[in-house]
Amino acid sequence: MDTSQILNVFGIEMWLGVLALVLIVADLITGRGRLTGPADMVRLVAMGGLAVLLAYAFMLSPAEQASSWGTLDTFALFFKRFFIATALFTLLLSAPYEARFTGGRGEFPALVVFTTMGMCMLASVSDFVTLFVALELVTVTLFLLAAYRSGLPRSIEAGIKFVIIGAVAAAFLVYGIAFVYGTTGSLDFEGVRAALAATDEVPKGLTFGLLLVVVGLAFKLGAVPFHIWVPDVYQGAPTPVTAFLSVGSKAAGVVLLMRLVFTVLGPVAGQWATLLAGLAALSLLMGNLGAIPQKDMKRFLGYSGIAHAGFLLIAMAVQSEASASAVLFYMVAYLFANIAAFLVVIVVSRTPDNAHMDRINGLAERSPFLALALTVSMLSLAGVPPFAGFVGKFLILRAAVADPALLPVVILSLVMIVVSLYYYLCILKRMYFREPVDTGVLEITGSTRLILLVCVVASVVLGIYFNPLVVAAEKGAAALFG
């Protein structure tokens, strides 16, 4: 039996599963449905476990040969570290938010860990069946997390919308996989790649199947025209979950799309570039123009996320090693900027419990530190030079200009960066030049300060001293082209 092979590839996932079960049992023993006290301990156990696993993921070296179960290459490892770090940030974010979970909070860390397990599996998948199983593990737990505040109608609404859209996306994906299997007789990424490379004339059924798979993944990524769920679900879900969705779920789409586009579609890359560039252009237009009139911080960040999906899709359309590594860098920059933004939203939206944009008016007077953190986050998302977001955008565009066919999309993206500057700067204007609407004292705990400090420092340092991460990203991306 090849148990050792499975554990070799999916060791981290196994430990994540064990951790989640331990959390459930710990909640049952200590919590007994109570709302305060021991639940904090469950969260601390979860964070401790994730921290240990993060360290483990950093010590792990990539497996030499790929097994039939999955691959543990540098690319998979890069994203496994990314996902575990995101989950750790999500649990840290949930600390100041937990009081709002009125229906019990013990399951929250366990669900986050289960989702992370699925995401880490996604990083290593090498066949379509494992892909589907892992993706469903991620999606189903995220449905529950989106509807976690079951006493709140808009949270339930977010959950139900997410379920319906998720079911549609899964249907696309499975139908596509059926076509791929029907035409190639293989569910392996390698087998499909070989089938594509073998013929000059790709069977129509295979192209159709792969197209459906790409559509299914585009839902996850939140790319236009499959973005319609993003603002509603982002607004309705509990804010830590929104942060997790915006970073983790998007990265899950990115990691799958990269594997698909760069390895499976490798032999027919040219045919797919136009489609991906088209999706990128639509996402850039819709995301950036849609963000301008938003009056809710979470909706606003949702549209901004759609715009960023557009940027990531440009890199996929380029299909060079440089663009692949640029995506990895971009995701890390996006992680730090988004986590900081959502944490500020959590702190300012405490009472009354909504994230209307007026709530950040005059934030600079009420808490200069929060205002500074949100400023850095917005500037990094906008791609202003001394911050990490700039380097990410720069790397993607540098890779994109190498391909003359993509010039129209590159020009569009440059115009859209200017548009995005407008609405990100509107946030700064609200913080620094408007009178505060709320006057209550903001409750900023030590852990909030710490996360914001980490995000700000990371955004600045990665913007100036970006070389180590660029090298790591290049190493991660190289595995795709190996």
Partner 1 sequence: MPENALNDYLPVLMLLLFCVSFAGINLLASWALGKRAPTNPDKDSAFECGMQPLDQGRQRFSVRFYVVAMLFILFDVEVVFLYPWAIKYKALGMFALVEMLVFLGVLFIGWLYVVKKGALDWNTQPKPGRLNK
Nearest of 80, 83, 267 to residue 189 by alpha carbon: 267
Distance, in Å, from the CA atom of 228 to the CA atom of 218, rounded to the nearest integer, reads: 12
CB closer to partner 1 out of 106 and 305: 106
Tell me how many residues contact partner 1 (CB under 8 A): 15
Least separation in angstroms between CB 24 and partner 1:
6
Which residue, 103 or 270, is less far from partner 1 as judged by CB? Answer: 103
By CB under 8 A, residue 28 contacts partner 1: yes
The structure tokens 């006057």 sit at 439
Q: Is 441 in the site for partner 1 (CB under 8 A)?
A: no
Specify the residue, 89 or 114, whose C-beta has the smaller distance to partner 1: 114
Q: Does 153 bind partner 1 (CB under 8 A)?
A: no
Residue 24 or 187: which CB sits closer to partner 1?
24
Q: Least separation, in Å, of the C-beta of 123 and partner 1? A: 23
> What is the distance between the alpha carbons of residues 186 and 201, in angstroms, rounded to a whole number?
18
End-to-end CA distance of the chain: 28
| 32 is a site residue for partner 1 (CB under 8 A) | yes
For the chain, the maximum distance between any two Cα atoms, rounded to a whole number of angstroms, is: 68
DSSP 8-class letter at 149: -
The interface mask with partner 1, positions 293-312, x = CB under 8 A, is: --------------------
Rounded to a whole number of angstroms, the minimum distance from the CB of residue 53 to partner 1 is 19
| Of the candidate residues 7, 33, 164, 464, the single one contacting partner 1 (CB under 8 A) | 33
CA distance 365 to 367: 6
Helices 3-26, 38-59: inter-axial angle, 10-degree rounding: 160
* DSSP state, residue 441: P
- Please identify, among the stretches 97-105, 119-127, 385-393, 406-414, the one whose residues bind partner 1 according to the rule CB under 8 A: 97-105
The helix/strand count (H/E) of the chain reads as 20, 0
Kindly indicate which of the ranges 32-40, 49-57, 217-225, 226-234 contains the residues binding partner 1, using the contact rule CB under 8 A: 32-40
Q: Look-up: residue for tokens 């790709």?
A: 202
| Closer of 103 and 440 to partner 1 (Cβ) | 103
- 38 is a contact residue toward partner 1 (CB under 8 A): no
Residue 133 engages partner 1 in binding (rule: CB under 8 A) = no
d(CA 153, CA 231): 16
Residue 275 touching partner 1 (CB under 8 A): no
Q: What is the DSSP letter of 260?
A: I
| Distance between CA atoms of residues 342 and 241, nearest Å | 10
Taking CB under 8 A as the criterion, the residue among 7, 40, 68, 102 binding partner 1 is: 102
- CB nearer to partner 1: give 39 or 284: 39
Cβ neighbours of residue 121 closer than 8 Å, sequence gap 6 or more:
10, 13, 70, 130, 133, 134, 137
- Please tell me whether residue 103 binds partner 1 under the rule CB under 8 A: yes
Closest among 193, 312, 186 to 260, alpha carbons compared: 193
Q: Which of 35, 60, 160, 322 binds partner 1 (CB under 8 A)?
A: 35
Q: Does 31 bind partner 1 (CB under 8 A)?
A: yes
Q: Measured from the CB atom, is 1 or 59 closer to partner 1?
A: 1
**Residues 90 and 110 sit within 8 Å (Cβ to Cβ):** no
Is 46 buried (19+), middle (13-18) or exposed (0-12) by CB count in 10 A? Answer: buried
Least spacing, CB of residue 36 vs partner 1, in Å: 10
Q: How far is the CB of 104 from partner 1 (least distance, A)?
A: 3
Q: Report the distance separating Cα 93 and Cα 347, nearest Å.
A: 10
| Residue 34 interacts with partner 1 (CB under 8 A): yes or no | yes
Least distance in Å: CB of 223 to partner 1? Answer: 33
For residue 101, the Cα-to-chain-centroid distance in whole angstroms is 23
Which residue from 49, 96, 106, 383 is in contact with partner 1, where contact means CB under 8 A?
A: 106
Residue 74 or residue 115: which is nearer to partner 1 going by CB?
115
| Residues written for the chain | 482
Asked if residues 266 and 306 have their Cβ atoms less than 8 Å apart, the reply is no
Indicate whether 454 belongs to the interface with partner 1 (CB under 8 A): no
Here's the x/- map for partner 1, 8-27, by CB under 8 A: it reads as -------------x--xx--
Residue 35 CB, nearest approach to partner 1 (Å): 6
Q: Which residues, 6 or more positions from 314, have their beta carbon under 8 angstroms from its beta carbon?
A: 277, 280, 323, 396, 397, 400, 406, 409, 410, 413
- The binding site for partner 1 (CB under 8 A) comprises 1, 3, 21, 24-25, 28, 31-35, 102-104, 106
